Amino acid sequence: MVIEYNNNGELTMGGTSLKTVAQSFGTPTIVYDETQIRTQMRRFHEAFKKSGLNYNISYASKAFTCLQMVKLVQEEGLELDVVSEGELYTTLEAGFDPQHIHFHGNNKTKHEIQYALESKVGYIVIDSLEEIDLIDRYASDVVNVVIRLNPGVEAHTHEFIQTGQEDSKFGLSIKHGLAIEGVRKVKNSKRLNLKGVHFHVGSQIEGTEAMIETARLVIQWLKENDIEVELINLGGGFSIKYVEGDVSFPIEDGIAEITEAIISIAKETGFPIPEIGIEPGRSIVGEAGITLYEVGTIKTIPNVNKYVSIDGGMSDHIRTSLYDAQYEALLVNRNDQADETVTIAGKLCESGDIIIKDAKLPSTVKRGDYLAILSTGAYHYSMASNYNQMQKPSVFFLKDGKAREVIKRQSLRQLIINDTK
């Protein structure tokens, strides 16, 4: 994606002036480069095509979803992961083919299971032994299931949002025998068809090592236990660049490494390679999104710090306070040199409401200026809240110099719509 200043000194995204967007539609607002989202999806497709393996790519809708996003996923030929009744509802309302929906979750409610079955989703990802009985009870027809394995693999670094380690609420542990028990239970059921297995080792993972190590372990386990599957789903978790020094997962080389490793592990073990699935979220939308804010109060505490406050905060940007995540900010309406280190703060009522602790900004920044926070396309809108009765921001897709509204800003009325009088 190209983010650069034009001749008028205005920051642009894919050629569109972000100052114009902010002035026309208000702030806070999240803007996506639509072409960039499509490019990421196509890169995964191309990389897998080169491997010669049967594959499917599904977008993890938890990263960012809305009707127009789902339509885009459908247009680009990806499948879709959902983890709740709400995500399933959104996907179906957008007209997405239910056969290409996968239903995840470590505690699917009885109602969710019934909804997934009625909607005839492509498969349900089993995350507990109990769930097998529940699905069996409610299914009236044969239903495809995929067992989520807990491989007991740690993605090595504390920054990762780990999910594959032994002590985890997710999946059925291979090491502790839950996975094999799950397979037996599914096979004993008349209505459940074991389509495949799934694992997901974590999020924002830069290399391919954890995924390859896990694939090896899983293939060996399948082989040892004589389990035939049509699908191995490797999960998501491919990294993106938030700040200088971060590495965007190199899709072409990375997928080549993973698929070549799978081919050679399968050869070594004499295991027929089934369809290979992945489910990226962050790497599809993360870098394609930017949040635009307007600067309000600027407070300088002599010899201590300078706080530049913006008109949003942890209600639309929770990742800094929640994960100590790092971001970069750019001044939108002038191309001045970033010659100062400041703290960009939100407007919500707690000290932890920080967007960037040590942001490099021009010292000329003043009230009424616009700031762009980069790489906010994943887990920002989807994790937004109404804390302090803040309204959720609007969202636009930018393409060919035009801004298309895909989510309207939440209205004040919507904040009290469910309140009783």
Query: Residues in the site for ligand LLP, rule: CB under 6 A?
Result: 60, 63, 104, 161, 163, 200, 203, 235-238, 279-283, 319, 378-379
**Nearest CA-CA partner of 292 in 342, 240, 344:** 344
Q: How big is the chain by its Cα radius of gyration, in Å?
A: 23
Cβ proximity to ligand LLP, 238 vs 293, nearer residue? 238
CA distance 220 to 268: 10
CA distances from 71 to 15, 142, 212 (A): 24, 28, 32
CB closer to ligand LLP, 87 vs 279? 279
Min CB(41)–ligand LLP separation in Å: 13
**Nearest to ligand LLP of 363, 385 (CB atom):** 385
What does the alpha-carbon distance between residue 249 and residue 381 come to, in Å, rounded to a whole number? Answer: 22
- Closest approach, Cβ 238 to ligand LLP, in A, equals 6
CB of residue 365 vs ligand LLP: minimum separation in angstroms?
Answer: 27
CA 259 distance to own-chain centroid = 22
For the stretch 301-322, what's the b/e string if a residue is b when 16 or more beta carbons lie within 10 angstroms of its beta carbon? eeeeebebbbbbbbbbbbbbbe
Cβ at position 242, least distance to ligand LLP in Å: 10
Nearer to ligand LLP, 236 or 346 (CB): 236
CB 139 within 8 A of CB 153: no
In the three-class reduction of DSSP (H, G, I as helix; E, B as strand; rest coil), residue 68 is classed as helix
Rounded distance, CA 113 to CA 103, Å?
9
Of 10 and 79, nearer to ligand LLP (C-beta) is 79
Q: At 224, list the tokens.
A: 């040892």
User: Which of 349, 364, 402, 416 is an active site residue?
Assistant: 349
Closest distance of CB 34 from ligand LLP, Å: 19
Within the chain, how many helices (H) and strands (E) appear? 12, 23
Output the smallest distance, CB 388 to ligand LLP, in A: 21
Burial grade of 296 (CB within 10 A; 0-12, 13-18, 19 or more) = middle
Residue whose CB is less far from ligand LLP, 279 or 369: 279
- Residues 374 and 243: their CA atoms lie apart, in Å, by 9
In sequence order, the β-bridge partners of residue 168 are none
Closer residue to ligand LLP in complex, CB, 279/294 = 279
CB 15 to ligand LLP: min, Å: 28
Q: Which is nearer to ligand LLP, 318 or 332 (CB)?
A: 318
How many C-beta atoms surround the C-beta of residue 129 within 10 A? 14
Smaller CB separation from ligand LLP, 34 or 279: 279
Q: How far is the CB of 303 from ligand LLP (least distance, A)?
A: 35
What kind and span of H or E run contains 86? helix 85-93
- What is the DSSP-derived secondary structure letter of residue 388? G
* Residue 43, token pair as written in the block: 């890169």
- Closest approach, Cβ 376 to ligand LLP, in A, equals 10
C-alpha distances out from residue 38 to 77, 246, 276, 285, 402, Å: 10, 22, 21, 9, 16
User: β-strands 192-198, 231-233: how paired?
Assistant: parallel
Known catalytic membership, residue 349: yes
Which residues are bridge partners to 101 per DSSP?
Answer: 80
Pairing assessment for the beta strands 11-13 and 16-17 based on DSSP bridges:
antiparallel
* CA atoms of 233 and 207, how far apart (whole Å): 18
Residue 241: Cβ within 10 Å count: 16
Active-site positions read 349
